[in-house]
Structure 1
Amino acid sequence: MRKVLYNRFGDEQVLEVQEQPTPTIAKNQLLIQVKATSINPLDWKIYRGEMKLLSGSKLPKGVGIDFAGVVAQVGPGVTRFRLGDSVFGLLDVFKGGALADYVVVTEAVIAPKPAAISFDQAASLPVAGLAALQIVDQLAVIGRGHEVLINGATGGVGMFAIQLAKKRGARVTAVVGPAGVQRATQLGADVVIDYTKQDVRQLTQQFDAVIDLSDKLTFKAAKKLLKPGATFVNTLPSPQSLVLSFFHNLFSSRKRKILILKPTAAGLNTLASFAQDGLQIPVEQVYDLANVRQAYQETSQGKVKGKAVVVLG
């Protein structure tokens, strides 16, 4: 089978499509024939060597976290899925390996693919969708009447965060670039700010939650935007930021929280239900496996807004 691997850390040129043996499954595992894999910023942060403390330095490594495909083999201990079922899910976020013709998973990290969405859309949902769900429901605990600011609101996580925050009854202010203004409005944002025309740091309004998905709004700058008891969330964990946020939260009513994605089957099923009911999953660009380097180069340079997908057949 084909699999994307890298044997050293670096830019997109380290990615290689290699022939590998098709993996075998154990009693409680399934073999999934992958139809599509989506691209996430965490992918390139890992293969560039920026996350070694969390992902480790052992090589070679695979790339790609979330996927959609068809059940090709079922272990005897599996009870919820059958041969031929269409599913979507994700692998360990720091190990990757989903950019391959086949992956081995357990029932805990997959869910049935909603009939209403394509494999491309389903592959785009797990990482970004679960991240948004965890931010909205667990970290920021967004509810009816809350004022929420989402900075970087039309990237992969942002486009789901807008929709989920609205589902929870919040009023959403989305901060985007010029190309994202129309998309943010379509996704349901109540107020859309083009950061090239207005500096979000100069806003006088305060919010119940400020969610930074761009890695450009620091907690120090965001504090003036937070109501007492409000929460600031960002999505790029590092050992230093985790320690700083822990000690900060001991003494301040304005909380600083960092997303560490925790995949669950329950979360995937919640997203599947939302998708079946009309959750928008815009796939902006589709690449084939032969162009995987181009795919990562263009997405990492910000040339693709929303989700990008690599198809495997």
Structure 2
Amino acid sequence: MRKVIYNRFGDESVLEVTEQAVPPIQNDQLLIRVKAVSINPLDWKVYGGDMKLMSGSTFPKSVGIDFSGMVEQTGSAVARFTAGDAVIGVLDVFKGGALADYVVVKEADIALKPANISFEQAAALPLTGLSALQIMDQLAAVSANQDVLINGATGGIGLFAVQLAKKRGAKITAVVSTKGVTQATQWGADSVVDYTKQPIKLLNKRFDAVIDLTTKLSFREAKNLMKPNAVFVSTLPSPLAIIASFINNIFSGQKHKILIVKPTADGLTTLTKLAEADLQIVLAKTYFFANVRQAYREARQGKLIGKSVIILD
């Protein structure tokens, strides 16, 4: 089978397509034939070496976190799935391995794919969808009538965060580029700021929650946009940021929370129900397996709206 690996940290040039044996499964595992894999900013932070304290420095390493596919084989202890089931799933966020023709998972790693969406859309759902759920329900605890600022509202997490905040009755201000204004409005933003025309730091408003999905807005800068007991959520879990946020949260009413996504089976099930209802899943671009380096290079430039997906042809 084909599998993308890398043997040193670096840019997209370190990614290699290799031939490997199909992995065997244990009694409590399933073999999944992968149909599509989504691209996430965490991917290039890991293979770029930015997250080596979490990912380790032992090579070779694999890439690809969330995926869609078909159950090919089940272990004798597996009860919830059978061969032929269409599923979505998520692997260890710091180890990856989904960019392969086959992956081995446990039951808690997957959920049945919603029948009303494609495999490409399904692959785009798990990691960023779980991230948005964790931000809305745990980190920011968004509720009705709160003023919420979402910076980077048309990226992978943003497209779900806007929709989920809307479902919770929040008043949403979305910060986007010019080409994202229409999309953010369609997803439910009450007001939209085009950062190319109006710097976010100069907004004359205070918010209950400031959610930065760009990793470009610091907590120090965000404090000027926050109410006295507001929450700032960032998505760059560096060791220094984690320590600084811990110290701040002891002494300050303005809290700094950092997203460290924790995939759960319940979370995946919640996402599938949302997708079966009305959750929009927007694909920015799809790529074939042979173009994996191009796919990551273009996604890392950050100019796309929605999610990019690699199709395993």
Same fold by TM-score greater than 0.5:
yes
1:108 alignment partner in structure 2: 108
Q: Secondary structure at the match of 1:248?
A: helix
Using the TM superposition, give the Cα deviation of residue 227 of structure 1 relative to its aligned residue in structure 2, in angstroms. 1.1
1:215 aligned partner, one-letter code: T
The one-character-per-residue Cα deviations of 1:216-260 (angstroms, maximum 9, x if unpaired) are 111001112111211000011011110110110001111000000
1:296 aligned partner, one-letter code: Y
1:174 alignment partner in structure 2: 174
Q: Secondary structure at the match of 1:79?
A: coil
Q: Secondary structure at the match of 1:93?
A: coil
The one-character-per-residue Cα deviations of 1:133-184 (angstroms, maximum 9, x if unpaired) are 0000000000111110000000000010000001111111000011111110
Counterparts of 1:272 and 1:146, CA distance in 2: 26
Q: Secondary structure at the match of 1:99?
A: coil
2:55 maps to 1:55: yes
Q: Which consecutive residues of structure 1, in runs of 5 or more, have no partner in the other structure?
A: none
2:72 aligned partner, one-letter code: A
1:1-313 to 2 correspondences below 5 Å: 1-313=1-313
Counterparts of 1:291 and 1:165, CA distance in 2: 35
Q: Secondary structure at the match of 2:184?
A: helix
Counterparts of 1:170 and 1:29, CA distance in 2: 40
Using the TM superposition, give the Cα deviation of residue 303 of structure 1 relative to its aligned residue in structure 2, in angstroms. 3.8
Q: Secondary structure at the match of 1:103?
A: strand
The one-character-per-residue Cα deviations of 1:247-302 (angstroms, maximum 9, x if unpaired) are 10001111000000000010011010010001000011010000001001111112
Counterparts of 2:273 and 2:184, CA distance in 1: 22
Counterparts of 1:80 and 1:145, CA distance in 2: 39
Counterparts of 2:125 and 2:53, CA distance in 1: 26
Counterparts of 1:263 and 1:119, CA distance in 2: 20
Taking only aligned residues, the RMSD between alpha carbons, in angstroms, comes to 0.7
Counterparts of 2:146 and 2:104, CA distance in 1: 41
Counterparts of 1:178 and 1:225, CA distance in 2: 22
Counterparts of 1:221 and 1:38, CA distance in 2: 31
Q: Secondary structure at the match of 1:111?
A: strand
Q: Which consecutive residues of structure 2, in runs of 5 or more, have no partner in the other structure?
A: none
Q: Secondary structure at the match of 1:186?
A: helix
Corresponding residue pairs, total = 313
- Structure 1: 4+ residue segments shifted above 6 A: none
Task: Tell me the TM-score normalised to structure 2 length.
Answer: 0.99
